[in-house]
């Protein structure tokens, strides 16, 4: 029969239970709190140098010009920092080839809406971001705005980022990719 260590006999099952439950609570709290101590979230890093409600093509990513850690160098980005507090934002972009995409990010970095380039054809994207207050059933966080059409996207938070992402297949394509990214637009609606 195995011999129990001397100290083991001093342990109480109540202490074991309290330790396990406390461990679980500490685990959950730490998981939720640790991100709050992040020096700068990805969204904040990108937003820092961007004008509001304006699409800007970011320069090519190099060692000397890298905003985000682990940012792939063969991707070019056009980014718009939006704020729908003062009204809807009109967004348009061209997704000319496979691998291109348009994503809408919340300030927490969640990519809550994404449009990939369609296969075998040139995609044009046009939509309007509408403020959270315009939701009919906003109180229950369901439903769409009364005026919301298929081309309107209600956002849960007033601020966030729109990112048009283009894979850079080689430096020879740089000018062409930049020209397509320059066509992306984002601005306050004049309705």
Partner 1 sequence: MIANVILFVGLAVVGGLGSSWYMIEKGASLTTIRSGPWVAWKSAGRADADPYTRAHFLRRGMLPVSSSLATTFQATADSDGKTLYSSCDYLIEGQEPSASFWSLAVFDDTGQLIPNPGERYAFNSANVMRSANGQIDIRLARSARPGNWLPTGGAGRISLLFTLEEPRSSAEDGRVLQLPTIRRLACR
Contact residues toward partner 1 (CB under 8 A) are: 7-8, 10-12, 15-16, 18-20, 22-27, 30-32, 34-35, 37-43, 45-46, 61-64, 66, 68-75, 98-99, 101, 103, 105-106, 108-112, 114, 116, 119, 163, 165, 167-170
Minimum separation from the CB atom of position 191 to partner 1 (A):
27
Task: Supply the DSSP symbol for 65.
Answer: B
Coil/strand/helix, residue 84: helix
Q: Tokens 């260590």, residue?
A: 5
Euclidean distance between CA atoms 28 and 136, whole angstroms = 35
Of the candidates 103, 127, 96, 101, the one whose C-alpha atom is nearest the C-alpha of residue 116 is 101
Nearer to partner 1, 98 or 122 (CB): 98
Nearer to partner 1, 10 or 191 (CB): 10
Nearer to partner 1, 178 or 189 (CB): 178
Minimum separation from the CB atom of position 88 to partner 1 (A):
21
Coil/strand/helix, residue 63: coil
Phi, psi angle pair for 19, to nearest 5°? -65, -45
Minimum separation from the CB atom of position 141 to partner 1 (A):
13
Euclidean distance between CA atoms 177 and 78, whole angstroms = 11
Nearer to partner 1, 112 or 185 (CB): 112
Minimum separation from the CB atom of position 187 to partner 1 (A):
22
Asked if 123 and 117 count as a contact pair (C-beta separation under 8 A), the reply is yes
Minimum separation from the CB atom of position 41 to partner 1 (A):
5
Coil/strand/helix, residue 189: coil
Nearer to partner 1, 9 or 191 (CB): 9
Task: Supply the DSSP symbol for 15.
Answer: H
């Amino acid at each position: 029969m195995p011999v129990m260590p001397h100290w083991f006999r001093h342990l109480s099952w109540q202490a074991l239970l309290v330790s396990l439950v406390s461990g679980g609570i500490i685990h959950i709290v730490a998981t939720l709190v640790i991100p709050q101590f992040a020096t700068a979230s990805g969204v904040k890093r990108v937003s820092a140098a961007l004008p509001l409600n304006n699409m800007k093509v970011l320069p090519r990513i190099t060692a000397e010009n890298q905003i985000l850690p682990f940012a792939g160098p063969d991707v070019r980005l056009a980014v718009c920092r939006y704020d729908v507090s003062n009204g809807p934002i009109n967004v348009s972009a061209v997704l000319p080839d496979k691998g291109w995409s348009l994503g809408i990010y919340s300030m927490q970095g969640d990519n809550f809406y994404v449009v990939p380039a369609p296969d075998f054809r040139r995609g044009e994207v046009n939509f309007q971001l509408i403020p959270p207050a315009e939701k009919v059933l906003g109180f229950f966080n369901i439903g769409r705005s009364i005026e919301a059409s298929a081309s309107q996207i209600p956002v849960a938070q007033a601020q966030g980022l729109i990112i048009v992402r283009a894979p850079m297949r080689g430096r020879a394509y740089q000018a062409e990719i930049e020209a397509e990214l320059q066509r992306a637009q984002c601005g306050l609606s004049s309705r």
